Amino acid sequence: MKGLWATLRSKQHTDGIPVLKDISFEIQKGESLAIVGRNGAGKSTLLKIISGVMKASSGEVNVNGSIGALLELGSGFDLEYSGIENLKMAATLAGISENLDRKIQRMADFADIGEFINEPVKTYSSGMIVRLGFAVITETKPDLLITDEILAVGDEAFQVKCLAWVEKYLAGGGTLLLVSHSIYHIQTICKNAMWLENGSIKMYGDSHKVAKAYQTAILGQLDASNKHQDLNTYHVSDASILVEGKGRGNQINMMETFEVVATVYTPDGLKPGLSIGIVGFDGHAIYGTYSSEVGCIPVFIDDLHVQFRIKFINNKLLPGDYKIKLHSMTPDQLQMVDTLELDLHIEGKTRELGVCRLETEWS
Query: Domains in the chain, start-ordered, CATH in brackets?
Result: 4-218 (3.40.50.300), 229-347 (2.70.50.60)
Q: What is the mean pLDDT of residues 235-252?
A: 90
Does position 10 have pLDDT exceeding 60, yes or no? no
Q: CA–CA distance from 263 to each of 105, 236, 237, 272, 288 (Å)?
A: 46, 6, 6, 10, 18
pLDDT of residue 118: 94
pLDDT of residue 156: 67
pLDDT tens for residues 306-315? Answer: 999 999 999 9
Does position 3 have pLDDT exceeding 50, yes or no? no
- Helix, strand, coil percent values for the chain (each to nearest 5): 30, 35, 35
Does position 258 have pLDDT exceeding 90, yes or no? yes
Confidence band, pLDDT 50/70/90 cuts, at residue 20: confident
Query: For the whole model, what pTM was predicted?
Result: 0.60
Residue 175 and residue 1 in contact, taking contact as beta carbons nearer than 8 Å:
yes
Of the listed ranges 90-99, 220-229, 230-239, 300-309, the least confidently predicted one is: 220-229
Dmax (CA) for the chain in angstroms is 75
Question: What is d(CA 111, CA 158) in angstroms, rounded to the nearest whole number?
Answer: 9
Residue 77, amino acid: F
Q: How far is CA 314 from the centre of its chain?
A: 32
